[in-house]
Amino acid sequence: MNYYSTWLLLFLTACSGNEQQSDSKVQNTPSPWFEDVASDWGVDFTYDNGAEGEFHIREVTGGAPALFDYDNDGDLDLYVVQGNGALGNALFENVDGMFVDRSEGSGANDTGYGIGVSTGDYDNDGDTDLYVTNLGVNALLRNEGGGKFTNVTQVAGVEDEGFSACSAFGDLDNDGDLDLIVTKYLDVELISDRECFDNLSRQTYCNPTIYEAELQDTLFFNNGDGTFTDVTTEAGLSSVKGTGLGVFISDLTGDELPDIFIANDAMPDRLWVNQGDGTFIEDSIHRNIAIDDSGIAKAGMGATPVDIDQDGDMDVYVTNIFGESDSFYRNEGDFFQDMTRRSGLYAETRAYTRWGIVFADFDNDTLLDLYETTGGVVSGAISYSSEDPLAEPNLLFQQKENGRFNLIDPKGGTAELLIASTHGVASGDIDGDGAVDLVVVNSNAPLNILKNITKNRGGWITFQILNAYGSNALGAQVDVELQDGSHLFAEIKSACGYASAHDPRAHFGLGGKRVSQVTITWPVGTIRILKNPELHTTHVIEYVE
């Protein structure tokens, strides 16, 4: 019996005793938080995962969006990967609040079996480029400007053929250009012709570990001339293999060097600590972030850095599978502490398989809330859809006090429950009204664009931090000091959660408070201080030496 087939038993056992009393109270709200406006805003897109009843594991891994400003006009455009190569990936331009399909002739409609996407200006020309992870050959799409993209994968040396899941750009060697980390899920030559069944003798998707098809993830260093070098071995990442899914780049050790965190499915997660000389040491066990507080290696899906407790260092949040809770690791400096049980997120998350992650202050009250996408890999105790036995409702949690979350009902924060198998989700203020919106990609069901309609939102302020090339300064830190002396912290990032690319602008909800000053620290160490910035607006901060 594989571990997927035990989830139902685990869940029923958990629900038979004290676990029936959730450690997170359901927060009943008189009005919804989100409204699906995909059709109203011009988007008609369905991710086709190609499922034909043969239970290929790729079918429960793919589908993801990117929110990014590809034409540098100040608003967020949309890119979505597609599983059906005959349809190709989709590019939508934001034109006065409506999305217009610009896929045809753009060069961005890659026809691989798409899993995920990341964004970053790898060639420092001021335009944001795309990296698409595929089952097959990945694709680096260079933004040429004017709505045109060129596939430069082979020229740049980043093909990385296989079963790639997620990717992230970041300047790992401090040379001023973006490097690239790509997670590898399974060796495609070893995952065919296997059948797995649950405890009711129903065929289901296999536990990835039964294939014995683990792979090393791939690290590319940017050569600064439009090409990359595979430094996986030289950097030390070839020393261990895994079933890599979610990935992000962030300084987790406080030494001002960006590290790499990778969520592995049914294996210990990895923390690659940057040594500052082009090499990395895997230190997850020593820093207490490889497994949870009960000593279990969970089925890691998505992963994100987030300063949940707003103390200036990055905590880590990992989504896991049905029967396992999420993992919230609080950064204590030299180690991490598993705070999941104390956060109110333990019992509520165990009943679903979670993938994408968004931490954002949706109601602008200064506290980060949490949105998670869900989609099963095995039929659970509860069936939510007669058409898709793996479909589940997404989850929305409101942070009510520092580090404590309440589940919002109806689940997902929409008036009508949205039920689907969902993986990727991207966040950003799409309509520029000072509230964070969401794009949710579903398997074999229409995409959702969730406009934030929360009532009585507080004040807000947003910062777009640029580097010397006019691109988003990934890795920059923003410290907002409020007039009461409290602080709000954020890091400029785009790749986090699961397989998706988010708006890299830093959005802060203010409640009814005012801002006394803002301190911006670029990765190169340059610091800029803004006094009494205007509220309810987006500030574009250019780099000045």
122 Rama sector, left if φ>0, alpha if ψ -120 to 50, beta otherwise: alpha
Dist CA 231 CA 150 (whole Å): 24
pLDDT band per the 50, 70, 90 thresholds, residue 352: very high
pTM, to two decimals: 0.94
How high is the pLDDT of residue 191?
85
**Residue with more model confidence, 210 or 473:** 473
How high is the pLDDT of residue 189?
86
User: Is 10 a residue whose pLDDT tops 60?
Assistant: no
Look up residue 510 and give its two tokens.
Answer: 């203010």
pLDDT tens-digit map of 29-81: 468 999 999 999 999 999 999 998 889 999 999 999 999 999 999 999 999 99
User: Is 326 a residue whose pLDDT tops 90?
Assistant: yes
How high is the pLDDT of residue 5?
40
Look up residue 17 and give its two tokens.
Answer: 């005793």
274-291 mean pLDDT: 97
DSSP result, 172-206: SSSSSS-EEEEEE---GGGSSS--EE-TTS-EEPP
Dist CA 344 CA 340 (whole Å): 7
How high is the pLDDT of residue 543?
96
241-261 mean pLDDT: 97
pLDDT tens-digit map of 314-325: 999 999 999 899
pLDDT band per the 50, 70, 90 thresholds, residue 381: low
pLDDT tens-digit map of 505-520: 999 999 999 999 999 9
In this structure, which amino acid lies at residue 249?
A: I
Residue written as tokens 């455009």?
Answer: 77
How high is the pLDDT of residue 387?
87
Give the three-state DSSP class for 404: strand
How high is the pLDDT of residue 378?
80
How high is the pLDDT of residue 19?
37
Dist CA 49 CA 330 (whole Å): 35
Dist CA 4 CA 203 (whole Å): 11
How high is the pLDDT of residue 350?
92
CA angle (369, 375, 379) in 5-degree steps: 135
